[in-house]
C-alpha cells in the first residue's frame, strides 16, 4: 500500500517540493539514488491517456464516459511492430481488436484485401459467431500499431450498457461492409465484359479490393 507519510517516491517527493506530477513520471536521482513515481500515480496517468485515446476513436464514439472506463477494465493493450502478424488465417480464436494507432493489412490466401486504420475493428466475426471459429484472413501490421484486445469472456463481465454499445458498433461495421461489398459487386458487373477483353487495368481492380 502506498504510504501517505514519509514516502520517498518521486510523486510524493515532488508534491512536497512543488514539482508538477507529469514531470515525475520520468526517473530522476537524488542523493545518488534512483526514484520513480509510485505505481498508483503511473497507473492513473496511463489509464487517463488510454481513456483519451478511446474517446477519440470512431468505434467508441457513442460510448459514455462510464462505459469507456468499463472498456478499459476489460481490455488488454499491446503493441505490434511493423510486419508482425497479428492474426493468422486458419487459426482459432475469439478475441477481437480495435486499432488505437497505426495501420494493418488484411490478406486472404496470399491476396491483399484491404487496409484497416486507426479506429477500425477486426476479428469480431469469431466473437459474433459465439464459438472458437477459424480466422478467415491474415492481419499483418503495415506500421507499428497499438492494439486494443478484447476477449468475449471478459466482455460478458462488462455492464449491460457497455455490451449494448459494442453490439451497436458491430452493427454499424456490418452495414458499412455490406455497402462496400455491394459497391464492389456492381463494379465487377459493370466491368466484366471489359475485364474479359483485357481493356480494364487489373491492378485498379485489385487495389479497389
Report the SS3 class of residue 98.
strand
Q: Per-10-residue mean pLDDT for the chain, 209 residues long?
A: 47 46 39 40 68 96 97 96 95 93 94 93 83 84 97 94 96 83 72 52 36
Q: Domains in the chain, ordered, with CATH?
A: 10-37 (no CATH), 75-179 (2.60.120.10)
pLDDT reported for residue 148: 97
Burial letters 7-27, b for 16+ CB under 10 A, else e: eebbbbbbeeeeeeeeebeee
* Euclidean distance between CA atoms 41 and 45, whole angstroms: 6
pLDDT reported for residue 174: 84
- The CA-based angle 45-161-76, given to 5 degrees, is 40
pLDDT reported for residue 66: 97
Residue 59 near residue 120 (C-beta atoms within 8 A): yes
* Euclidean distance between CA atoms 146 and 122, whole angstroms: 13
Q: Which of 196, 198, 197, 186 is closest to 208 using CA atoms?
A: 186
Cβ neighbors of 203 (< 8 A, separation 6 or more) are none
Judge if pTM exceeds 0.85. no
pLDDT reported for residue 126: 77
pLDDT reported for residue 129: 76
pLDDT reported for residue 7: 52
Amino acid at each position: 500500500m502506498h504510504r501517505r507519510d514519509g514516502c520517498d517516491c518521486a510523486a510524493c517527493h515532488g508534491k512536497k517540493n512543488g514539482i508538477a506530477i507529469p514531470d515525475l513520471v520520468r526517473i530522476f536521482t537524488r542523493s545518488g539514488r534512483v526514484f520513480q513515481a509510485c505505481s498508483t500515480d503511473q497507473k492513473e496517468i496511463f489509464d487517463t491517456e488510454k481513456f483519451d485515446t478511446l474517446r477519440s476513436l470512431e468505434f467508441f464514439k457513442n460510448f459514455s464516459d462510464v462505459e469507456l472506463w468499463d472498456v478499459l477494465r476489460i481490455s488488454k493493450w499491446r503493441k505490434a511492430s511493423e510486419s508482425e502478424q497479428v492474426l493468422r488465417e486458419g487459426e482459432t480464436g475469439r478475441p477481437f481488436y480495435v486499432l488505437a494507432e497505426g495501420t494493418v493489412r488484411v490478406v486472404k490466401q496470399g491476396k491483399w484485401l484491404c487496409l484497416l486504420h486507426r479506429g477500425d475493428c477486426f476479428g469480431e466475426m469469431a466473437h459474433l459467431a459465439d464459438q472458437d471459429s477459424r480466422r478467415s484472413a491474415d492481419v499483418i501490421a503495415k506500421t507499428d500499431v497499438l492494439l486494443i484486445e478484447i476477449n468475449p469472456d471478459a466482455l460478458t463481465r462488462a455492464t449491460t450498457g457497455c455490451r449494448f454499445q459494442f453490439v451497436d458498433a458491430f452493427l454499424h461495421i456490418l452495414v458499412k461492409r455490406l455497402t462496400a461489398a455491394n459497391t464492389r459487386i456492381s463494379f465487377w458487373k459493370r466491368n466484366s465484359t471489359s475485364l474479359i477483353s483485357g481493356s480494364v487495368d487489373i491492378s485498379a481492380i485489385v487495389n479497389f479490393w
